[in-house]
Amino acid sequence: GEDVEQSLFLSVREGDSSVINCTYTDSSSTYLYWYKQEPGAGLQLLTYIFSNMDMKQDQRLTVLLNKKDKHLSLRIADTQTGDSAIYFCAASRGGSGTYKYIFGTGTRLKVLA
Counting contacts by CB under 8 A, is residue 62 touching another protein? no
Counting contacts by CB under 8 A, is residue 87 touching another protein? no
Applying CB under 8 A, the site for another protein has a residue count of: 26
Q: In which element (H, E) is residue 14 found? A: none
Counting contacts by CB under 8 A, is residue 92 touching another protein? yes
Q: How far is the CB of 74 from another protein (least distance, A)?
A: 16
| 33, 34, 46, 79: residue in contact with another protein (rule CB under 8 A) | 33
| 22, 85, 101, 111: residue in contact with another protein (rule CB under 8 A) | 101
Pairing relation of β-strands 107-112 and 9-13?
parallel
Q: Which residues fall within 8 angstroms of residue 87, CB to CB, at 6 or more apart? A: 6, 20, 34, 35, 36, 37, 46, 74, 106, 107, 109
Chain center to CA of 54: 14
Q: Residue 14 or 37: which CB sits closer to another protein?
A: 37
